[in-house]
């Protein structure tokens, strides 16, 4: 089928040609089809049997433009190829954390996946203050597994270069990240968020601190040139689907080979911005404590999983078995993890800045209607980005991170009572 934009009318006829999908649905008659995409890029449909809604699939289709901006912002449909490739890797490495691929169609830019059922995009229950036991640990395990197993520690280099070749040309989406995370928030750019007091504060804090800007450039340079592992590339609380004791990672179209700390820092940043929002949102101090503990768990589980896999892998591209004595190998591993930790801190600071000052802020804060409250919290996030960045390589470990962040928040002017829990 040559490329056609699918809609509710065309989807049944399209799906009935696909045996694997028909196994799941059983029939293409009387399907309930709902557009559920809330991402910025693609159209996403849930397709379920009207008479048996548990028999359902998810159909995702790329259109040749950036959905959130419309046809005036062209974007190659190739992004769905990269998403398909990354999801295949994840189906292989971490099937417990991702939807199963049922069908992919390069010509139609379509991907049909398992419907994960009654899960929700994490960001929204998090805004409401819902806890999910084990969430941080799940995210950390996902990161440990995917980052180690696509790194030079977990793969031989020829196989690894061949895998890199499948992702290197995900260049348009990498360019979006480059600009929206690492460039525009720090300069005067028309795409930036427009809230004059927040902008003025950011200008004062970020843009007038050359050392901060040079550190942003350090992380931008890593983003552009370091290919440690296959990254999700856009791991925020809107790319996670959760239920009690279930965690799934979705929206992998930004996948590329990049620096270890990027995904780790970005997801931790999202937990911190949620923390900030709960000075106003209903969760309050208890939920804030939970958020910070889960952010700590992300790192701890990531590190534990990464090191467990390393112990099981005698040698690959980087490390040649027997090169170091056990005590020296342990020291080498420690330094290796330290570098990832420091970089995660820096990328965390970049992500907080971007989601506060750039296009596409986090709903946790930007969806707050009261402008004074929103501005107050935005300025706090501006300060948080600066606070972390200016000590990214001195924080040292995850317990100090917790102390550092707690210290930061304890210095903030208290919210007035009427600003809280609206």
Which residues sit at the interface with a second copy, rule CB under 8 A?
152, 157-158, 161-162, 164-165, 168-169, 171-172, 174-175, 178, 183, 186-187, 210, 213-214, 217, 220-221, 224-228, 317-320, 322-325, 328, 331-332, 335
The SS3 assignment for 35 reads strand
| Residue 190 DSSP code | T
Closer residue to a second copy in complex, CB, 178/419: 178
The answer to whether residues 257 and 89 touch, using CB atoms and an 8 Å cutoff, is no
C-alpha pair distances (Å), 356 with each of 49, 283, 391, 412: 41, 20, 20, 17
Closer residue to a second copy in complex, CB, 223/279: 223
> How many beta carbons lie within 10 A of that of residue 399, not counting itself?
12
- Which residue bears the tokens 């609380």? 237
Closer residue to a second copy in complex, CB, 32/217: 217
Concatenated DSSP letters of 246-304: EEEE---TT-EEE-THHHHHHHHHHHHHHHHHTTTSTTHHHHHHHHHHHHHHHHHHHHH
* DSSP element (H, E) containing 213: helix 210-225
State how far the Cα of 296 lies from the Cα of 291, in Å rounded to an integer.
Answer: 9
Closer residue to a second copy in complex, CB, 336/409: 336
State how far the Cα of 314 lies from the Cα of 272, in Å rounded to an integer.
Answer: 36
Closer residue to a second copy in complex, CB, 159/403: 159
Closer residue to a second copy in complex, CB, 16/172: 172
What backbone phi and psi angles, to 5 degrees, belong to 110?
A: -115, 145
């Amino acid at each position: 089928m040559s490329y056609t934009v699918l809609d509710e009318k065309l989807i049944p006829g399209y799906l009935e040609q696909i045996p694997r999908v028909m196994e799941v649905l059983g029939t293409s008659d009387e399907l309930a089809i709902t557009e559920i995409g809330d991402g910025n890029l693609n159209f996403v449909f849930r397709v379920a049997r009207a008479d048996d809604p548990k028999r359902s699939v998810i159909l995702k289709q790329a259109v040749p433009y950036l959905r959130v901006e419309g046809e005036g912002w062209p974007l190659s449909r190739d992004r769905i190829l990269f998403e398909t490739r990354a999801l295949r890797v994840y189906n292989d490495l971490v099937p417990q954390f991702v939807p199963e691929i049922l069908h992919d169609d390069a010509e139609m830019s379509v991907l049909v996946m398992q419907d994960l059922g009654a899960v929700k995009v994490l960001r929204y229950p998090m805004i409401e203050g819902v806890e999910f036991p084990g969430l941080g640990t799940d995210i950390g395990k996902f990161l440990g597994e995917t980052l180690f197993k696509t790194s030079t520690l977990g793969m031989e280099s020829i196989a690894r270069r061949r895998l890199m070749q499948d992702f290197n040309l995900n260049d348009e989406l990498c360019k979006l990240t480059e600009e929206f995370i690492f460039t525009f928030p720090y300069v005067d750019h028309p795409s930036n968020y427009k809230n004059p007091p927040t902008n003025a504060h950011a200008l004062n804090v970020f843009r007038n601190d050359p050392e901060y800007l040079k550190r942003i450039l350090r992380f931008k340079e890593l983003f552009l040139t370091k290919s440690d592992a296959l990254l999700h590339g856009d791991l925020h609380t809107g790319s996670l689907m959760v239920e009690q004791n279930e965690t799934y990672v979705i929206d992998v179209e930004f996948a590329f080979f990049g620096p270890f700390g990027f995904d780790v820092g970005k997801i931790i940043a999202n937990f911190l911005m949620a923390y900030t929002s709960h000075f106003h949102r209903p969760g309050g101090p208890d939920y804030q404590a939970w958020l910070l503990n889960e952010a700590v768990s992300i790192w701890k589980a990531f590190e534990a999983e990464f090191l467990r896999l390393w112990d099981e892998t005698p040698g690959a591209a980087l490390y040649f078995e027997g090169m170091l004595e056990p005590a020296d190998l342990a020291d080498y591993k420690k330094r290796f993890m330290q570098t990832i930790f420091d970089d995660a801190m820096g990328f965390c600071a970049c992500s907080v800045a971007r989601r506060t000052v750039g296009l596409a802020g986090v709903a946790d804060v930007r969806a707050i209607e009261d402008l004074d409250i929103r501005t107050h919290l935005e300025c706090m996030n501006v300060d948080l980005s600066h606070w972390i960045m200016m000590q990214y390589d001195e924080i040292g470990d995850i317990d100090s991170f917790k102390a550092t962040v707690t210290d930061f928040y304890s210095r903030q002017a208290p919210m007035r009572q009427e600003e809280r829990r609206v």
